Amino acid sequence: MTKNVAERMFTRLSLDCEIDMLSIESKDAPSMNEYDALIIGTPVYHGMPPKIVIRYFEMIPRFTKETPAFIFNTRGFASFNTNRLLSRKLYQKNIVTVIDREYRGPASDGTIIAPFIKRFFEFQNDIEKKIDSDCANFLELLKSVGLQGYIPRFRFGSIVNVPNKLAGQLITLRIYLHKDQCTKCGHCIEQCPHSALFPGKDGYPLYNSRDCENCYRCIHHCPNMALSLSKRRTLKKLLRY
């Protein structure tokens, strides 16, 4: 979903300025220090940015100049302090938040755990209009003299999310392979951003729960629905990217 929003932003902003779209998963991504402004998007895992996003911004060198940023998150249920946590991490690298937003869309976990809830498969109403409006506001902000950055406010609702957050950090739901449906295409391995899946000697994917963040991209990208959270049952309905 984060990629869907980024692609819409890219299409909208390409009309008014020179823009590149990069993935932190790409090993060939150029230095972000070269840009005048940034838009940084993240999914929400258990009310916070995923580890792969936090690790990336811990790894990059501090920017030589203060760089304004539009940060956003994509969430299925609630984002809580995701933007705040990301903004504080970016500030340490001289990247200052000047606008932050959230967009509701399909929930990669909710669609698997509670597929009977229709909302988990849907984007919020008028999401494209909202994205276009937010992009226009960002461009106007960049024209301002003495642009001021900020850290998004603390959301007290995040307190009720503490059990869910701790569970997400401590518990990894096991992903099962149904070999009778697997064609050994390797698509799940390619799609995993955490390298939690790797090919076995027999060609079937092997799963390492220690590296898994339960993003479920492998499950949703499998063309044959050969992966699920159940040892006995396969899934009947998935998100299609």
pLDDT in tens, 35-71: 999 999 999 998 899 999 999 999 999 999 999 999 9
What span, in angstroms and rounded, lies between the C-alpha atoms of 205 and 182?
A: 9
Assess whether 152 and 220 both reside in one domain.
no
Assess whether 128 and 194 both reside in one domain.
no
For 40, phi and psi rounded to 5 degrees? -125, 120
Degrees (nearest 5) of the Cα angle 238, 240, 241? 145
Assess whether 119 and 40 both reside in one domain.
yes
Assess whether 119 and 156 both reside in one domain.
yes
pTM: 0.89
What span, in angstroms and rounded, lies between the C-alpha atoms of 14 and 20?
A: 9
Q: Is residue 15 part of a domain?
A: yes
CATH number at residue 200: 3.30.70.20
CATH number at residue 11: 3.40.50.360
Assess whether 178 and 128 both reside in one domain.
no
Residue after which a domain boundary falls, among 118, 133, 164: 164
Q: Is residue 234 part of a domain?
A: no
Mind listing the pLDDT tens digit for each residue in 172-185?
Answer: 889 999 999 999 99
Q: Is residue 235 part of a domain?
A: no
- Residue ranges in the chain modelled with pLDDT below 70: 27-30, 165, 169, 241
Degrees (nearest 5) of the Cα angle 87, 104, 92? 5
Assess whether 80 and 136 both reside in one domain.
yes
Assess whether 52 and 110 both reside in one domain.
yes
Assess whether 158 and 178 both reside in one domain.
no
Position 31 scores a pLDDT of 74
Assess whether 73 and 28 both reside in one domain.
yes
What span, in angstroms and rounded, lies between the C-alpha atoms of 117 and 100?
A: 28
Number of domains in the chain: 2
Position 234 scores a pLDDT of 86
Token pair belonging to 139: 């461009």
Position 241 scores a pLDDT of 58
Closest C-alpha among 48, 14, 38 to residue 215: 48
Position 171 scores a pLDDT of 74
Assess whether 178 and 102 both reside in one domain.
no
Q: Is residue 241 part of a domain?
A: no
Position 207 scores a pLDDT of 93
Residue 90 belongs to what domain range? 2-164
